[in-house]
Amino acid sequence: MTMTSTAGTLMRSDLKHPLITNVYRGKVRDVYSLSDGRVILVASDRISAFDVVLPRGIPGKGQVLSQLSWHMLQATRKVAPNWAEASPDPNVVIGKQCGTVKVEMVVRGYLAGHAWRTYNDGKRVLCGATMADGLNESDPFPTPIITPSTKADAGHDEDITPVEIIERGLCNKEEWETMCRYALALFAEGSRIAKERGLLLVDTKYEFGRAVDGSLMVIDEIHTPDSSRYLHAEGYEERQAQGVRQNQLSKEFVREWLIANGFMGKEGQQVPVMDDAFVQNVSERYIDLYERITGAHFAQAPEGDANARIQAALDAYLG
């Protein structure tokens, strides 16, 4: 399989360098391990939902994810240590290589998405966290809750409780408490940044890794449309009072579109066709969120061979 980059869409990278020792291709990112203890994350334009990579890529999506994550990792560095060291290309972040803690720390400030679907089914406990009675979709929780899930190498991530995390040895009690502290602090800072830009950070996920010295630090992306859900702050309370559904800025609308077209990633289900208009709409939404959350204009990377562009940037940075 070769790298595809048509109409400004990067579906796969294929980087070469003497320092590269291993390549892992996730649902969205291509991860290159280096012999000097660093790692290269290339954000492709692949898009996944229900743990399935959809057939078509989204132009500009990888750049949005990479640049927004880099922006947020720099903005929150004083709140929690993270892996990122440099961004030599719009689709690339380079940083420390860490051993992944196989737990995703999902922090929820509002009742939405998976939590809402669980709540709407009549359940009031999610991953060991209790949700009060009498809430409507998109209502705020009294305080943010953490609803962890497993970090699966393949297949679906699964809900898990803190007790199960410790019992299964995914991390120890001290690490769990540290991740909770970092995750809540990051969520508070992310919420503050979002509020300044007229947005509400609804929920998000954080991933952690163990550095060489055993210390924990944030890895992967943070506060992007793939890992987070945002709402418009203006008119939020009025819409809630009137029972009008909130307009989300996240990948959730892609999931909802798939559900409406009969796909939830279950065996035997066919991925619906994403036409040009829908792909363009998704691209515009990603770019809109980038500009809203950063306050900066989105400068599209030059069209052409994206892999060659990234390779040149990598060669210049690594030498």
Q: For the segment 251-300, what is each residue's pLDDT rounded down to a tens digit?
A: 878 888 999 999 998 888 999 999 999 999 999 989 988 999 899 999 99
CB atoms < 10 A from the CB of 116, how many?
18
- In angstroms, rounded to a whole number, what is the distance separating the alpha carbons of residues 301 and 90? 7
Distances in Å between the Cα of 203 and the Cα atoms of 59, 162, 198, 261 are 25, 18, 16, 25
Contact 138, 246 (CB under 8 A): yes
Instruction: Assess whether pLDDT exceeds 90 at residue 247.
Output: no
Q: What percent of the chain has pLDDT over 70?
A: 96
**Residues 227-241, mean pLDDT to the nearest whole number:** 95
Instruction: Name the nearest CA neighbour of 205 among 283, 151, 254, 246.
Output: 151
The per-residue pLDDT for 51 is 83
pLDDT 10s digits, 110-127: 999 899 999 999 999 999
Instruction: Name the nearest CA neighbour of 141 among 104, 115, 180.
Output: 115
The per-residue pLDDT for 154 is 55
Here the tokens at position 214 are 């055993």
Query: pLDDT band at 6, cuts 50/70/90?
Result: very low
What the chain holds in terms of domains, given with CATH numbers, is: 99-253 (3.30.470.20)
Q: In this structure, what is the dihedral angle of CA atoms 161, 162, 167, 168, given to the nearest 10 degrees?
A: 70
